[in-house]
Structure 1
C-alpha cells in the first residue's frame, strides 16, 4: 500500500499520512488547521512487515483504508528535570 507523508509547518514532528497524494478531502477541517500549506516529505510503500519509527504499521494501514489518512502526532515532551 502506497502512502504519502506530509509534515505540519505549525507543529514540530507532526505528520499526516495520506492514501492519495495531495488529496486532503478525507481529513477533517479541525485537523487541517495544523496542516495549512503542508510540506510533502516522501512517498512510502507500506507492508505489514515494514517497521515505522513512531507508529504501528498495521494501524497506519487500517487508518488509511478506513479513513483515507493517518495522523502521527508529536511525540510527548519529556518532563524537565
Structure 2
C-alpha cells in the first residue's frame, strides 16, 4: 500500500501538492510553502490501487514522492488540456 495526501493551495487556484501520507509539511522546501500558502487537505489516496489519475501519471507521482518527498501539480496549460480532451475522446 502506498498512501499519499493531497492538499490544495490557498494562494494558487488549481494547484495541488501530493505528499506521502502523514508527511510533516514543515519539512518541505521553505520557498515552496511561502508561495503555496496555507495548505488545505483535499483527500488521501492509495496509489497502489490506482492505475491513473486525471492529470498526473501514477509512475511520475510515485517517483517524485520517493525522490523529492512531494509532487506539485500545477494547472494544465491550454495545450495539455487539448491533449487530454483528445486522448479521452478516442
Q: TM-score normalised to the size of structure 1?
A: 0.82
CA displacement at 1:75 relative to structure 2 = 1.6
Shift in alpha-carbon separation, 1:32–1:77, aligned structure 2, 3 A: farther
Q: Which has the larger radius of gyration?
A: 2
Q: What count of residue pairs does the alignment treat as equivalent?
A: 78
Mean Cα displacement is larger for which, 29-38 or 7-16? 29-38
Question: Which SS does the other structure have where 1:16 is aligned?
Answer: strand
Please provide the CA RMSD for this pair: 1.9
Q: Is the 8 A contact 1:18 1:68 kept in 2?
A: yes
CA displacement at 1:27 relative to structure 2 = 2.1
1:68 alignment partner in structure 2: 69
CA distance in 2, matches of 1:48, 1:22: 20
Stretches of structure 1 lacking an aligned partner (at least 5 in a row): none
Question: Which SS does the other structure have where 2:41 is aligned?
Answer: strand
Which structure 1 residue ranges, 4+ long, deviate > 3 Å from structure 2? none
| Structure with greater proportional helix content | 2
Stretches of structure 2 lacking an aligned partner (at least 5 in a row): 80-90
